[in-house]
Chains A and B, each alone.
Chain A
Amino acid sequence: MDEKIKVLILEDMPEDAELVEQELKKTLKNYTLQVTDNEKGFIDALKNYKPDLILSDYNLPQFNGMEAIKLTKEISPLTPVIIVTGSINEEIAVDCIKAGAKDYVLKENLTRLGPAITQVLEKKALIEARIKADEAVKESEEQYFMLFNNANELIQILDSTGKFLAVNKEWMATLEYSKEEVKNLQLLDIIRKDKLQQVGELMQGIKGGESISFETIFISKSGKEIIVEGNGNGIFKDGKLISMIGMFRDITERKKTENDLCLSEKKFRSYVEQASEGIYLFELKKPISINMPVEEQIKNIYEGYIIEANDSQAKMYGFDKANELNGMTLAEFHGGTDNPENLEFLRSWIEANYRITDAESKEVDKDGNELWFTNNIIGYVEDGYLIHIWGTQTDITERKQAEKALKNSEERLKILFESAPDAIYLNDLKGTFIDGNRAAEDLMGYTREELIGESFLKLKLISGKELLKASKLLVKNIQGKGTGPDELILNRKDGSQVTVEILTYPVKIKDKTMVLGIAHDITERKQAEEQIKKDLAEKNVLLQEIYHRTKNNMQVIASMLKMKSRQSDDEFVHDSFNDIVRKIQAMSLVHEKLYQAKDLSRINLKEYIEDILLMMIRYSTVNSELFSYKLELEEVFITIDSATPLGLVLNELISNVFMHSFPNDRKGELTISLEQEKSGDIKIQLSDDGVGPSADFDPEKSNLIGLQTVYSLVVYQLGGSINYEAKDGLSWFIKFNDSKNKLRV
């Protein structure tokens, strides 16, 4: 023995104690020793020294061995007591053994003490070992029970027929049966009916010695379904099944979650598949560090490829099924890696932590046609690395193309507007400018910025004289009417003036009435018109001057002729000169009439006839008391081409009347009528009630130069006709048409 054995000796005789110790030394290699000779010391040693072995004398002065045995049994029952005595009868010895002493050794025979100690200590060791073992078993059983009862799993023990022997707390809590109820319960009572066959087969397996894992459904006392997963084992004794142990976990919740998850995944799938938007998932060749420079990231992202997409996505690119897209890289979709618009949104996407909404991308379909999308893109980042990218996209190609077309047509309109040679502008109903084109800027001399927001009043664009006119235009616009063309004079910014021809139209723009104005610079045209007017006036003055000079010259000629005729006494010479003077006067009268005529080209034939007649009367020697005249003249205008020959004709005919019709102081009347027919033919009738011509009167064959001249003038020069009638005097009928003659001026 290695441990120190603590020995207590109860002895009143020190010599005896020494002898005992000598024996101890022989027996025990390692020990400690206490010696006492009284009861008090003995009890104290039992309690504090806790001896492993007691060697007790029997007869002590106030104590004895029997009491020591009893005290030991009381205080430290496992400590063995050996009685070592000198004198003891058999009866006492037997009593001591009965009382609990393990042995007794006579002092006379101390050599037996060694073997006795050894034997007693061995026995004690055995007892102690047994006690320890018993305690260990007890502890382990408690632990198992604790485990059984507190396990989170459902544990059940059945006999070989399926009758319940025991269940744990969790089982009872879950299946809602009490301990008492379980005693009368069979396994079949807690299995859902559709699972009975399965459970039956499993039990056959267990009876065959298998350990079986399975999933089944229990029904609780209240009818709740409990899905369990677990295993069952058989316990056999001598090859015979005596009980079955089942351990289960309640997986009802897990199953439900799984179910829900499955359902939600199904829903999600169907959403993805049926979505009209394109939905896609890009995988990257390798994860991209989010710390990598942006341009390098983009380079890597362009190598990313589709691993999943929906059919809508495929159709957008001209494919039929989603799986046709698998493996296609982003670069392929973008038609390259250098489209600046796409690069821009990829940069923004990276900078916004791989999230972007409504980003526009320009891509190509499988035939290379241009496509436009709006994208919502999310990058999945883990531990600082971009792992994959998913997103949705909507095809906006049509809208984009429409926008482009609109932009084109807008641009065309803008060009039309800007390059129109006429000023085009918009103003509101107060005359405030809203917009204007380049021609408007040029016309008014203000820049668009200076014009917009200002009214023509404030800019003093319209001179005071024309304000009323301009405001009348605006009033018409307010009434919803267009105006023009009207002429206005505008004051330009630099103070110069332009004349414009303005057209305005009220237009509605977003329910607001505005005025669209178009102004055309007519300054040059106006100046040209003024010049023409001036030229015309000058020409008229000049023409008048010529008429005046011609008339004057004729008067001068007439004066010269009259002066010349004064120098002769010959009557024929006088008459001839006077005849010529009268003819000059008649022609001069045409020029006078033209000078007075408003249009300088046609003369009033009525006035001309009156003037010729009056002039002839002044120059003639007719007796005003005997001669009268009657005029029935319409207002007729003729050109100088007709007027001059007609003047000569009338001069000749009237002169003839004065000379021949009323001889010998015959009273007479001259009637001249003038009318113009609708055809334009002008008819002049000149009648007298005089003596009439002689019987052989034939004016065409007349040798009178005057009448021959009359016929020539009417027929050749006027292109007309002349007739006469000699009845109650003489009547001349002249008819001609002046409309062939062009206006000379």
Chain B
Amino acid sequence: MKKIRILVVEDEVIIAKYLKMELELTGYDVCGFVRSGEEAIIKAKEKNPDVILMDINLYGKMDGIDAAKEIISLKDIPIIFCTGYGKKEFVERAQKLNPLAYLRKPILAEEVKEVIDAYFSEK
């Protein structure tokens, strides 16, 4: 069975690397990690990942929700948002994009796995 490919969008590179490690230990293929929304769109087009793990606070002008919106408009890729803050504004904007999940940081690989497994088993 082919590994599920995940694109990690996270501005803190250490955290991104840690997530990559955790997710790969869990059995996923992290096909890339980028720190800005703009890069995320380019990477998503290029790599065509199965899932995108999207932080909301990003490097650059674009935030994770705007980047996700742009990506969704191009390709039907499921998004898992993760953020440290349960800010109402973010939650509301994020919910409109109908994401797989809205996870609170710090992210645990097990939680990501639960969400992805649930989605792909349904599929």
Q: Which of B17, B87, B105, B108 is close to A563, meaning CB atoms less than 8 Å apart?
A: B17
Partner of A585, one of B18, B106, B111: B106
**Chain B: residues with CB nearer than 8 A to chain A?**
12, 14-15, 17-19, 21-22, 25, 57, 84-87, 105-106, 108, 111
Q: Which residue of B lies closest to A596 (CB)?
A: B85
8 interchain residue pairs of minimum CB distance: A559-B18, A556-B14, A559-B15, A563-B18, A559-B14, A556-B12, A592-B84, A555-B106
On whether the beta carbons of B85 and A555 are closer than 8 Å, the reply is: no
Give Cα A585 to B84, complex, Å.
Answer: 11
Q: How far is the CB of A389 from chain B (nearest CB, A)?
A: 101
With the chains together, A249 CA to B12 CA distance in Å?
A: 150
Q: Which of B14, B17, B87 has the most CB of A within 10 A?
A: B14
* A560 and B18 within 8 A (CB): yes
Nearest chain-B residue to A566 (Cβ)?
Answer: B21
Identify whether the interface residues of A are mostly helix, strand, loop, or mixed.
helix
CB distance from B9 to the nearest CB of A (A): 15
In the complex, whether A191 has a CB less than 8 A from a CB of chain B is no
Instruction: List, in ascending order, chain A residues with CB within 8 A of B25's CB.
Output: 566
In the complex, chain B residues whose CB is within 8 Å of the CB of A618: 108, 111
- Which A residues, 285 to 342, have Cβ-Cβ distances below 8 Å to chain B? none
B-chain residues with CB within 8 Å of residue A592 when the two chains form the complex = 84-85
Chain B residues, Cβ within 8 Å of A585: 106
Render A542-567 as a binary contact track against B, CB cut-off 8 A, 1 for contact: 00000010011001101110110010
- CB closest residue in chain A, given B106: A555
**Which of B22, B84, B87 has the largest number of chain A CB atoms within 10 A?**
B84
Contact A555 B108 (CB under 8 A): no
Distance of A558 Cα from B17 Cα, bound (Å): 12
Bound Cα distance from A560 to B105, whole angstroms: 15
B30 CB → nearest A CB, Å: 14
CB distance from A741 to the nearest CB of B (A): 25
- In the complex, what residue of chain A is closest to B111 when comparing beta carbons? A618
Question: Min CB distance, B21 to chain A, in Å?
Answer: 6
A563 contacts B57, C-beta separation under 8 Å: no
Beyond A552-B15, A560-B18, list 7 extra A-B contacts (CB 8 Å). A552-B84, A556-B12, A556-B15, A558-B106, A559-B14, A595-B84, A596-B85
A575 to chain B, nearest CB (A): 17
Closest approach, in angstroms, between the C-beta of A327 and any C-beta of chain B?
106
- Closest A-chain residue to B84, C-beta based? A592
Complex CA–CA separation, A566 to B19 (angstroms): 13
Q: Is the CB of A555 within 8 A of B21?
A: no
Residues of B within 8 A of A619 (CB): 108
CA distance A151 to B19 in the complex (A): 164
- With a CB–CB cut-off of 8 A, which chain B residues contact A551? 84
How far, in whole Å, are A672 and B27 apart by their CA atoms in the complex? Answer: 38
Chain B nearest Cβ from A153, distance in angstroms = 138
Also in contact, A560 and B84, with CB within 8 A (given A548-B57, A566-B21, A585-B106)? no
A386-B21 Cα distance, complex, nearest whole Å? 132
Distance in angstroms from B84 CB to nearest chain A CB is 6
Residues of B within 8 A of A596 (CB): 85-87
A592 and B85 alpha carbons, distance in the complex (Å)? 7
Instruction: Specify which chain B residues have a CB less than 8 angstroms from the CB of A566 in the assembled complex.
Output: 21, 25
Least distance between B81 CB and chain A CB atoms (Å) = 16
